Amino acid sequence: MISFNIPPYTGRERPYIDQVLGSQHLAGDGAFTKACRKWLESYSGCESVLLTPSCTHALEMAALLAEIEPGDEVIMPSYTFVSTANAFVLRGAKIVFVDIRPDTMNVNERLIEDAITPRTKAIVPVHYAGVACEMDTIMSIAKKYNLVVIEDAAQGVMSTYKDKVLGTIGDAGAYSFHQTKNYTSGGEGGALLVSTPAWQERAEIIREKGTNRSQFFRGQVDKYTWMDIGSSYLPSELNAAYLYAQLEEAEAINTRRIASWENYYKQLQPEAESGKIELPYIPEECCHNAHMFYIKTKDVEERSALMEWLKHRNIQSAFHYVPLHTSRAGQTFGRFHGEDEYTTKESERLLRLPMYDGLREEDIKAITDAVRRFYA
Ligand SMILES: *Cc1c(COP(=O)(O)O)cnc(C)c1O
């Protein structure tokens, strides 16, 4: 059986976790959290990176920082994970979905401006498959209308747009370290990158249950107290220890993933050239992280048949998001602006093939051979 996903594992997670157990400091913001933070800040260039228990929590923190209030509107693609929308719905916002571009599956930046109303407060681009949205256009629209930009960069760790690290271009960005992502903190985890200086102090307070405990630990205040609303958005040191082992290997993992992605692409190019399938498109400004390798079939029926075909050959594959605007909650909390020209149609054609660190060349050969035989 070729699995669809296997969580990354470097071997150093165990000794690091043992180190935490031995230190008897298990709660958040210990040595490993600090090391992860330092690594992420130095890699991204962002001044303030806070580890969180998940990307979902990082997005919730971003919604609090953006001071989203009941009645505010937040623009995002419908082709995304529920957490992108939930974080803002929890603050009372109405979600305004706009269509995606069929080439990258990212929000169509040219449709955003038309969806803006006097109640619009934020734009939330989602960097699907670790391939950046057209951020120059999105940032200039945000500037023109004085909107906040929060990047859902859950899939975008180690990806760039015009040499800028994803998650650092907007006011804030959210990373995921869930076990299905390129790097994990032991199953669940995330980080919030806070680029807007005015949000950085408040982000620490919100993360520490609304207290200034972070400043207290740094010796900046002599006691800590309740300052603001907040919650517990710190992961355990055990999670940080797991993550640190992965961050130390991040370059090597990324290089191996890219090699797998390029191998897939090369093997399947003839099928794409003869018009049987479509392959992913990477805009020139984007350096991606091989978060996923997907193909597009003719339609949903062909996709189901191909999935079955692969399953019979012991190969797992997966489709992806059911567009949020078609869901019960999506209809309650959101509306689709404009026409759904591509969101539903393209989501029904997309099929993800196995992708993880450690996927072998012979596995890719077996998978691509199986796809080829299906179309023969
Ligand atoms: C994985 C993912 C999330 C959620 O991440 P968690 O860490 O599981 O909370 C949010 N948005 C996108 C686009 C994702 O892919």
- The domain spanning residue 60 has which CATH number? 3.40.640.10
- Of 217, 232, 247, the domain-final residue: 247
Q: What are phi and psi of 258, to 5 degrees?
A: -60, -40
* Rounded-to-integer distance, Cα 239 and Cα 184, Å: 9
Q: Does any domain span residue 158?
A: yes
76 membership: H or E segment, kind and range: strand 73-77
232 and 257 inside one domain:
no
Give the separation between CA 132 and CA 145, rounded to whole angstroms. 22
Closest ligand 1 atom number to CA of residue 128: 13
What does R_g of the chain's alpha carbons equal in angstroms?
21
Q: Are residues 99 and 206 in the same domain?
A: yes
Q: Domain boundary at 247, 282, 313, which?
A: 247
Query: Is residue 7 in some structural domain?
Result: no
What is the reported pLDDT for 290? 98
pLDDT at 117: 98
Nearest to residue 354, comparing CAs of 260, 246, 256?
260
Residue 18 CB partners (closer than 8 Å, separation 6+): none
Residues 241 and 295 in one domain: no
Q: How many CB atoms lie within 10 A of CB 129?
A: 25
Question: 134 lies in a domain?
Answer: yes
The contacts of residue 240 (CB under 8 Å, 6+ apart) are 28, 30, 32, 33, 35, 36, 51, 185
d(CA 185, CA 241): 8
Give φ, ψ of 336 to 5 degrees: -95, 125
* Co-location of 61 and 87 in the same domain: yes
Residue 1 lies in a domain: no
Distance 275 CA to ligand 1 centre (A): 32
pTM, entire model: 0.98
Same domain for 171 and 274? Answer: no
Going from the Cα of 103 to the center of ligand 1, the distance in angstroms, rounded, reads 21
Neighbour tally for 15: CB within 10 Å: 10
Residues 94 and 160 in one domain: yes
In this structure, are 135 and 254 located in the same domain? no
Q: Are residues 219 and 123 in the same domain?
A: yes
| Residue 4 belongs to a domain | no
Q: What is the Å distance from ligand 1's center to 216 Cα?
A: 32
Name the 3-class secondary structure at 221.
Answer: coil
- What pLDDT is stored for residue 330 in this prediction? 98
User: Measured from the CB, is residue 55 less than 6 Å from ligand 1?
Assistant: yes
| Beta carbons of 240 and 30 less than 8 angstroms apart | yes
| Mutation pick for ligand 1 pocket among 50, 56, 182 (CB with most ligand atoms within 8 Å) | 56
Nearest to 300 by CA among 349, 230, 373: 349
Query: What is the full DSSP assignment across 17-30?
Result: HHHHHHHT--SSSS
| Residues of the chain with confidence (pLDDT) below 70 | none
Domain match, 139 and 268 both: no
Three-state secondary structure call for residue 47: coil
- Bridge partners of residue 189, in order along the sequence: none
Q: Which of 152, 159, 192, 242 to mutate to test the pocket of ligand 1 (most atoms within 8 A of CB)?
A: 152
* Final residue belonging to a domain, choices 247, 269, 300: 247
Q: Looking at residue 340, what is its pLDDT? A: 98
Element (H, E) at 191: strand 190-194
- DSSP string spanning 83-99? HHHHHHHTTTPEEEEEP
Report pLDDT for 250: 98
β-pairing, 172-176 vs 148-152, is: parallel
Q: Does 124 reside within a domain?
A: yes
Note whether 219 and 321 are same-domain residues: no
Contact 276 CB / ligand 1 (< 6 Å): no
Q: Tell whether 234 and 255 lie within a shared domain.
A: no
Residues 188 and 308 reside in one and the same domain: no
Q: How many domains does the chain have?
A: 2
Residue 2 lies in a domain: no
Question: The tokens of 345 are what?
Answer: 């149609």
CA dihedral 319, 324, 326, 332 (to 10 degrees): 160
> Could you tell me the two tokens for 21?
């157990």
Give pLDDT, residue 280. Answer: 98
Please name the residue whose Cα sits nearest to atom 5 of ligand 1.
Answer: 55
Q: What is the pLDDT of residue 115?
A: 98
Whether residue 6 is contained in a domain is answered as: no
Expressed as residue numbers, the domain containing 67 is 13-247
Task: Give the pLDDT score at 246.
Answer: 98
Check which CATH number belongs to the domain holding 266 and give it.
Answer: 3.90.1150.10
Which residue has a Cα nearest atom 6 of ligand 1? Answer: 55
Helix (H) or strand (E) holding 58: helix 55-65
What single-letter DSSP state applies at residue 323? Answer: P
Q: Each residue of 266-324: pLDDT tens digit?
A: 999 999 999 999 999 999 999 999 999 999 999 999 999 999 999 999 999 999 999 99
Residues 6+ apart with CB under 8 A from 137: 109, 110, 112
Beta-bridged to residue 100, according to DSSP, are 107
Question: What is the predicted pLDDT for the residue at 183?
Answer: 98
